[in-house]
Amino acid sequence: MSKRKVKELHLTVGECISQVQRLLRERFCHFKLPNEPQGMESQHKHLLELLKRTAVHGESNSVIIVGPRGAGKTMLLNCVLSELLEVNEVKKNVLQVHLNGLLQTDDRIALKEITRQLHLENVVGDKVFGSFAENLAFLLQALKKGDRSSSRPALFILDEFDLFAHHKNQTLLYNLLDVSQSAQAPIAVVGLTCRLDVLELLEKRVKSRFSHRQIHLLSRLSFTGYLEAVCTQLSLPQDFPDPRFAQDWNASIKTLCEDKLVVDVLQRHFNSSKDFRSLHMLLMLTLSRVTVSKPTITATDILEASRVCTVDSKANILHGLSILELCLIIAMKHLNDIYDGEPFNFQMVHNEFKKFLQRKSHSIHNFDKPVVLKAFEHLQQLELIQPMDGSTAKVQREYQLMKLMLDHSQIMEALQKYPQCPTDVKQWAMSAFG
Amino acid sequence: MSAQLQHPWYSEEKLQSVSEKLRCRETLAGTVLSLLGEPDQFCYPSIFIYGHRATGKSHVMHTLMKELELPHATVSCVECVTVGLLYEQVLHSLFGSEASSLLPRTPSLSDFVRIYRQLCSLSPSKQTRYIVLERAELLRDMDANLLPALLRLQELVKDNVTVILLSEIVWDKFRPSTGCFEPLLIHFPDYTKAELQHILDQESHPSYSPELYSAFINILLGVFYCVCRDLRELRHLAALNFSKYCEPLEEGNVKESETHKLWRNIEPHLKKAMQTVYLREVSSVQWEQQQQMEEKEAGAMRGLSAHGHVELPYYSKFLLIAAYLASFNPARTDKRFFLKHHGKIKKTNFLKKHEKTSNHLLGPKPFPLDRLLAIFYSVVDSRVAPSASIFSQISSLVTLQLLTQVGHEDQLDSPKYKCGVSLDFIRAISRTVNFDIVKYLYDFL
């Protein structure tokens, strides 16, 4: 450590750190495209071939990329697209239409968006379309007029493909896939989805027009690969402005990745999820701890970041409750134990709480019923308890049936961590039956 | 403590002034600030901040944004009854007043993203833009695609923008069924007792010493801390009750050093406050008026729930009593309570152990109209004709929400009702007509 410091004296550490932050943040938060997608070479090749056939030879295609959240679907597609656009003739020739199921929530909006992205607004602008159908007919006409040899190929990219399947009659999907099946203008329909059963959502006529090409992105990453990925994610590139700093940084990252403590932490993360998003979150939290006064990542940083990532949020909320609210939760726990998970109402909880006060406590927690009701309602606001049915107006507040959204171990753990918990309350919670 | 807030980008004085405003939250503000990074760097697309009410979530974010002059839009989701208002507010505060006029009349999310992109390309950001959404739990009730889209807004609009969600409810309750982009979670822990004391100490009265005020806060926390940890509520209670605490000092009976005497004076007063002001039974104005009127005992004034007593016609009272009895007594005990010559009933059979006191725990049971009328005729001493006015009184009790109708299938033919009043209420009613209701209640036998 001391050796490093001597070295950095004649560097402007602040600027270096700032550069590091900028670079790594872009990597973790903005999802900058890597040069080469890792671990999905075959899929990459397949998709590239497919889109090239559309772009160069004018072949119509349809494909769905399926994979869990954060598996790199968008990254793969963007890599392929950027590679495709490097070819000069393709760049001039291809039209791209990006649609997102989250944004284009119905076909009318989607159609407007397609018109906009194909720069047909002016053409459409002159004509007054009475209806959605006419607009669609015009667009289809424009697509149909073309043929394989003369017209420009279009790439339709449908993000959140499963949401398009919820549109009425799936008109948009039907028409797009229909164009891709018949000898009209060459288009490629690329769907991205995280649902494995996406084909079940499609209507029969839509399904029959789909080519049933699916690219699955399932992570086949081993832990050593994961560890390597962490290392490369944190390392600085060759063209970093200050090569000496970059060298030092990379060396320190290398030693960090071999640290037993860090490997343990990463193993735990790997066991819970393999996707890169959660890894990025961990690394982002780690990175935010790097400052000018502490210009390297240490094992404790990663440990602390992983603690923040994996903390149980309900336990955090339980920690901040008042003693009265905690007592009510214990009473509910007892009711759940005795009546085997049956729903309860406020009256029963209050009764249970009163029993505790009479038998065990020295009337220190002697509260009026309205005060207890207020505490109960606060618990409901925090959604720690939820009403069984929605009709709130019909039933009096005291008699509304509720269920507890916590489990036994969460309550006991929260009780252990609770600051200055009274002993009698603790003992009451421990005792098997109220 | 201010040394904790460090950032190479911002000047020392600015950070100093920020940390002065964020009492007991310097470390958290430091963490948040280091996550946000320098203004021109990218920040994580979405950050979810959760914590209890009044733990400084909005305050910290607001102070950071305001003091450090970051481009931001703060929107409270309570105000946004339609999504259009949300978009309008965001565009207005990020791009100026004329930006929001670009939105069509009923904007969709697609319009919002398109216009955002347009404006963004006109004025590209040198700094990260922040969208702070308060009370984010209400986003779940809006369009289903709004929350997932906001979480990945950075990717959708291709701008350096970060969405910050503030909520009391944990993230697990937000996650949509098909998943979404996971935000970065930050927890704002609750204030400890010492921290609460430290924060409340700041607002000491100018004419008294800070030590006195601090002693008062200590007593206040001693009474209220086990019920309430809400800073705002405590602050409100402190402001209301401090003048009462100082009363003996003004009269000259007690010196400032005699804390025990002051405590003896204030403690019952605070206990009373818990039953009245804390529950909003008595409004703060009323409470302050009461303190002026010294001869009057605090709480003697009728609270809100005392006004729940309504004046009803004679037969309506009996109808309500009959409805209460029908709701809370099992039907098989009616013979014993309401028939004069009911014959012998075995005591062991009559009082089943497990049924004891269960009805007042489980709530009112529905009963048919016939049973209500039968009980009504038996509890009313005089002869009553089943006239139209009796039946209209039943339906007017329903509109007053003292009774509720159960099941809407047939309105005329054997409707069922439930009684919706509390035991205290019915006791007060039956006292006015000299009827001893407790004698007829199965639960209290």
pLDDT score at B325: 93
Instruction: Give the distance from residue A399's alpha carbon to the nearest chain B alpha carbon, in angstroms.
Output: 5
pLDDT score at A3: 43
Question: B367 and B404 in contact (C-beta within 8 Å)?
Answer: no
Question: A323 and A378 in contact (C-beta within 8 Å)?
Answer: no
What would the pLDDT profile of B178-227 be if each residue is shown by its tens digit? 889 999 999 999 999 999 999 998 887 788 888 889 999 999 998 899 88
Alpha helices by DSSP H, listed for B123-258, are: 146-151, 153-157, 193-200, 210-224, 231-251
Question: B338 and B379 in contact (C-beta within 8 Å)?
Answer: yes
CA dihedral B7, B9, B14, B15 (to 10 degrees): -10
CA dihedral B333, B339, B343, B344 (to 10 degrees): 40
Contacts 24+ apart (CB under 8 A), B223-228: B223/B267, B223/B270, B223/B271, B223/B274, B224/B270, B224/B274, B224/B278, B225/A322, B225/B193, B225/B196, B226/A322, B226/A323, B226/A324, B226/A365, B227/A322, B227/A323, B227/A324, B227/A367, B227/A371, B227/A375, B227/B274, B227/B278, B228/A322, B228/B278
Spatial CA neighbour of B375 closest among B335, B406, B409: B335
Give first-to-last CA distance, chain B, whole Å: 64
Q: Quick one: pLDDT band at residue B4, thresholds 50, 70, 90? A: low
B178 touches chain A (CB under 8 A): yes
User: What is the interface size between A and B, counted as CB pairs within 8 Å?
Assistant: 167
Spatial CA neighbour of B172 closest among A311, A112, A197, A32: A311
Give the number of other CB atoms < 10 A from CB of residue B123: 11
Give CA–CA dist B307/A33, Å, rounded: 67
Give CA–CA dist B440/A191, Å, rounded: 71
Give CA–CA dist A329/A332, Å, rounded: 5
pLDDT score at B301: 58
**Mutate: best of B15, B38, B113, B145, partner A, most A CBs <10 A:** B145
Q: Is it the case that residue B299 has pLDDT exceeding 60?
A: no
Hey, what are A2's tokens?
């001391």
Residue whose entry in the numeric block shows the structure tokens 């979810």: B48
pLDDT score at A1: 41
Question: A414 and A315 in contact (C-beta within 8 Å)?
Answer: yes
Give CA–CA dist A132/B316, Å, rounded: 60
B4 touches chain A (CB under 8 A): no
Cβ contact (<8 Å) for A322 and B274?
A: no
DSSP assignment of A181-226:
HTTSS-EEEEEEES-TTHHHHS-HHHHHHS---EEE------HHHH
Cβ contact (<8 Å) for A383 and B155?
A: no
Question: A316 and B186 in contact (C-beta within 8 Å)?
Answer: no
Q: Which residue of A has its CA nearest to B49?
A: A313
pLDDT score at B2: 40
Q: Is it the case that residue B167 has pLDDT exceeding 80?
A: yes
Q: Quick one: pLDDT band at residue B91, thresholds 50, 70, 90? A: very high
What would the pLDDT profile of B7-50 be if each residue is shown by its tens digit? 777 888 888 888 888 888 888 998 898 888 888 888 899 999 99
Cβ contact (<8 Å) for B226 and A324?
A: yes
Chain B positions in Cβ-Cβ contact with residue A317 (cut-off 8 Å): 50, 52, 170
From residue A312, how far is each of A277, A317, A410 by CA, in Å? 19, 9, 9
Residue whose entry in the numeric block shows the structure tokens 């049956």: A342
Cβ contact (<8 Å) for B170 and A374?
A: no
pLDDT score at B351: 56
Q: Quick one: pLDDT band at residue B339, thresholds 50, 70, 90? A: confident
Question: B202 and B86 in contact (C-beta within 8 Å)?
Answer: no
Chain B positions in Cβ-Cβ contact with residue A419 (cut-off 8 Å): 192
What mean pLDDT comes out for the span B411-416?
80
pLDDT score at A91: 83
Angle at B439 between CA B436 and CA B442, to 5 degrees: 135
Chain B positions in Cβ-Cβ contact with residue A371 (cut-off 8 Å): 227, 274-275, 278-279
Query: Which residues are CB-contacts of A110 (< 8 A; sequence separation ≥ 6)?
Result: A99, A104, A164, A167, A172
- B6 compared with A408, residue with greater pLDDT: A408
Who among B42, B109, B180 is closest to A25 (CB)?
A: B42
Residue whose entry in the numeric block shows the structure tokens 């209209």: B392
What mean pLDDT comes out for the span B109-122?
91
Question: A236 and A205 in contact (C-beta within 8 Å)?
Answer: no
Hey, what are A406's tokens?
């916590």
Give CA–CA dist A117/A111, Å, rounded: 10
Rg (alpha carbons) of chain B, rounded to whole number: 31
Hey, what are A266's tokens?
């990463």
Burial class (CB in 10 A: 0-12, 13-18, 19+), A370: middle
Spatial CA neighbour of A188 closest among A347, A57, A336: A57
Scanning B204-233 for CB atoms below 8 A from A yields 225-229
Classify A409 as helix, strand or coil: helix
pLDDT score at B321: 94
Spatial CA neighbour of B245 closest among B226, B228, B264: B264
**Mutate: best of B35, B44, B423, partner A, most A CBs <10 A:** B44
Instruction: Give the distance from residue A90's alpha carbon to the nearest chain B alpha carbon, in angstroms.
Output: 24
Instruction: Give the distance from residue B344's alpha carbon to the nearest chain A alpha carbon, in angstroms.
Output: 34
Classify B107 as helix, strand or coil: coil
**Do strands A402-404 and A385-387 pair parallel, antiparallel, or not at all (unpaired)?**
antiparallel
Q: Quick one: pLDDT band at residue B307, thresholds 50, 70, 90? A: low
pLDDT score at B397: 93
Cβ contact (<8 Å) for A281 and B44?
A: yes
At how many degrees (to 10) do helices A299-310 and A276-287 cross? Answer: 120
pLDDT score at A65: 94
Question: B127 and B70 in contact (C-beta within 8 Å)?
Answer: yes
Cβ contact (<8 Å) for A383 and B173?
A: yes
Report residues of chain A scoring pLDDT below 50.
Answer: 1-10, 434
Give CA–CA dist B164/B73, Å, rounded: 10
pLDDT score at A67: 92
Proportion of chain B above pLDDT 90, given as a percent: 38
What mean pLDDT comes out for the span B90-114?
88
Cβ contact (<8 Å) for B281 and A382?
A: no
Query: Which residues are CB-contacts of A136 (< 8 A; sequence separation ≥ 6)?
Result: A107, A111, A171, A175
pLDDT score at B133: 95
Spatial CA neighbour of A74 closest among A30, A11, A137: A30
Query: Which residues are CB-contacts of B131 (< 8 A; sequence separation ≥ 6)?
Result: B72, B73, B75, B90, B94, B150, B153, B161, B162, B163, B164
Q: Is it the case that residue B3 has pLDDT exceeding 50?
A: no
Q: Quick one: pLDDT band at residue B308, thresholds 50, 70, 90? A: low
Query: What residue type is A233 in one-letter code?
Result: Q
Chain A positions in Cβ-Cβ contact with residue B422 (cut-off 8 Å): 396, 398
Question: A336 and A330 in contact (C-beta within 8 Å)?
Answer: no
